[in-house]
């Protein structure tokens, strides 16, 4: 077997798909998915697929910035050996700072090529095992309390094992939202909350203490990510476990949070970390600290979500998956890949590489650039 997979062509596509209903958080109101697909082809005929879902309030990227920066990366990587993963990731980092979303799409495509070359599924590249049941929660968007309670009942009736609730409006209103949701769904289904940085430190502590009686599993990112030095105070005074999300972008962030003892858990996202490789660096830190972790996502289709699912198989300490967004799409354009089943259960493909793709005829309908 050759030890080279030379990149001969890179295609970058803009993917826009309406959501079934608006997805609302304290940071944004989204009606459409605006993602970027990266297709990387090698001289030996292997095709790698990647996807990112840029989110301007978190990573400062948009579909347009990813489309442009992706062209820099395509020119950089063309003619390079896709099997030298760390070398190519370092080259992208040396070319431009940040831009973790579009970097993650290229990272996924490279992993897809490497997995196909080695004839193993992506998770095996990190000594993962497809031996645990992955289950996703489902999210209630931020809205008026009555609407959120009704949405929570629908989610419960659909059989999902846990409900995630977007908060971060004001503490007083958020308490009312959770009160109404808990009354509507009863006591037997777990509730998880995500403030998306929406509260002040004082407000977070007061709100979390008030929410304790509603049996909340954990709270994601209660305060602004730049205020991470105060997150330890929130954690210390909260009866609800604190999960770092926006403040935990990469392994440097994760190491800092651990040293500060600022959180109980990590929410790891491939698009936030800059790819599977960097996301796994966070997993290793969490494993060493014996910390429970969640793998989450932005608004990826089943293509990008498949990469996240492979990551979730790489540690027994990854106990939560937040993979519901593909179910919110009005159209599914992905072939193979992660599949969804009753009660939130998901299955990860054992095909070589990523195991997910998009048929060429569908790609041909999208705005694209070929390098």
Please answer whether residues 346 and 340 qualify as being in contact, where contact means their C-beta atoms are separated by less than 8 angstroms.
yes
How far is 363 from 127, CA to CA, in rounded Å?
32
Which of 194, 203, 281, 322 is an active site residue?
Answer: 194
Main-chain dihedrals φ then ψ at residue 146, nearest 5 degrees? -65, -40
Residue 194 bears catalytic tag: yes
DSSP readout, 122-139?
A: GGGGGT--S-S-EEB-EE
Which of 245, 253, 281, 322 is an active site residue?
Answer: 245
Cα 128–134–140 angle (5° rounding)?
A: 135
Strand order in the sheet with 29-42: 47-52, 29-42, 7-24, 368-370
Which of 156, 235, 269, 272 is an active site residue?
Answer: 269
Strand order in the sheet with 345-347: 134-135, 345-347, 339-340
Which of 124, 156, 166, 272 is an active site residue?
Answer: 166
Which of 30, 220, 221, 281 is an active site residue?
Answer: 220
Residue 14 bears catalytic tag: no
How far is 166 from 27, CA to CA, in rounded Å?
10
Show which residues are catalytic: 166, 194, 220, 245, 269
């Amino acid at each position: 077997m050759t030890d080279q997979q030379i990149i001969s062509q890179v295609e970058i596509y803009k993917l826009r798909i309406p959501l079934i209903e608006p997805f609302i958080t304290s940071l944004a109101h989204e009606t459409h998915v605006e993602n970027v697909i990266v297709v990387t082809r090698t001289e030996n005929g292997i095709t790698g697929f990647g996807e990112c879902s840029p989110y301007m309030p978190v990573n400062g990227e948009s579909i347009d910035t990813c489309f442009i920066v992706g062209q820099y990366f395509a020119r950089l990587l063309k003619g390079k050996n896709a099997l030298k993963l760390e070398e190519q990731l370092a080259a992208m980092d040396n070319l431009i700072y940040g831009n973790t979303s579009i970097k993650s799409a290229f990272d996924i495509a490279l992993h897809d090529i490497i997995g196909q070359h080695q004839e193993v599924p992506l998770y095996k590249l990190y000594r993962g095992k497809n031996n645990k049941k992955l289950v996703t929660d489902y999210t209630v968007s931020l809205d008026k309390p009555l609407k959120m309670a009704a949405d929570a009942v629908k989610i419960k009736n659909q059989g999902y094992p846990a409900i995630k609730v977007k908060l971060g409006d004001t503490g007083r209103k958020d308490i009312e939202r959770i009160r109404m949701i808990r009354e509507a769904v009863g006591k037997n289904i777990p509730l998880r909350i995500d403030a998306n940085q929406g509260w002040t430190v004082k407000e977070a502590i007061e709100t979390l203490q008030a929410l304790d009686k509603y049996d909340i599993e954990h709270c994601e990112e209660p305060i602004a990510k730049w205020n991470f030095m105060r997150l330890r105070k929130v954690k210390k005074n909260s009866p609800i476990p604190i999960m770092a999300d926006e403040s935990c972008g990469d392994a440097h962030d994760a190491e800092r949070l651990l040293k500060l003892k600022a959180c109980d858990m990590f929410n790891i996202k491939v698009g936030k970390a800059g790819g599977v490789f960097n996301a796994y660096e966070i997993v290793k830190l969490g494993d060493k600290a014996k910390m429970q972790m969640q793998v989450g996502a932005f608004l990826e289709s089943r293509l990008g979500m498949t990469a996240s699912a492979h990551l979730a198989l790489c540690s027994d300490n990854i106990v939560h998956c937040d993979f519901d967004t593909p179910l919110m799409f009005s159209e599914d354009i992905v072939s193979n890949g992660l599949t969804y089943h009753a009660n939130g259960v998901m299955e990860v493909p054992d095909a070589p590489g990523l195991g997910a793709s998009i048929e060429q005829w569908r790609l041909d309908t999208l705005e694209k650039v070929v390098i």
